[in-house]
Amino acid sequence: MQTVIFDMDGTLIDTERVSQSSWRRAASDLGITLSSEILHAFVGCSIPNAKEIINAEFGDPDLTERLFEHQAGIFMEAMERDLELKPGAAEAIAAAKDRGLGVALATSSGREYSINNMTRFGLMDSFDVTVFKEDIENHKPAPDVYLVAAERLGVDPAQCIAVEDSFNGVRAGAAAGMRVVMVPDYNEPTDEIRELCAEVLPSLTELPAALDRLM
């Protein structure tokens, strides 16, 4: 059975807008500035890798820890107030199910955080399989999260379509041997990223038609 595997942050829910704002505020509160290059690099980046970026930039591990702790508090507060679904997210999931496709969630975010967000928008019960940060050893761009999803679904990765918004997510899906549909959020695809994608769509509202082309 063919399967659609959805990333969550930046793909199904509009976290990047909230995240970028919270990083800027946290940095300002600590008297530092995060360059646009760093903010772009944070998209689809795991926390350990993001901390390495900040350590390399400022050379102060204590500052890095304070920045991440402060940003986390700002981010969670803003999420409660400002978080929204990406346009077409619920409809895209429903379209996959209507076509008889398996549907999975594969995210590098934590289990509790992810379940709370998907439940909040009434989507948690839509997934046949879920994979969270706690279920994998290596984060994107490694393919682990997608390979675990395929294994739990009992399908060949080649029968899966990965839906992603970030460069690292696209790389992870492609490395897993899946066809990748990118819906760019914060970063527009480079030539390298486009070559890894089966399709690049302006929004999730175009995904149902893309599924018909790719099935």
Which residues are known to be catalytic? 7, 9
Dihedral of alpha carbons 51, 185, 207, 202, sign = negative
> Whose CA is closest to 107, among 97, 95, 96, 115?
115
Tokens of 32: 């530092």
Amino acid 30 reads: L
Amino acid residing at 15: T
The DSSP code sequence of 120-137 is: HTT-GGG-SEEE-GGG-S
Provide the phi-psi class of 120: left if phi over 0, else alpha when psi is between -120 and 50, else beta: alpha
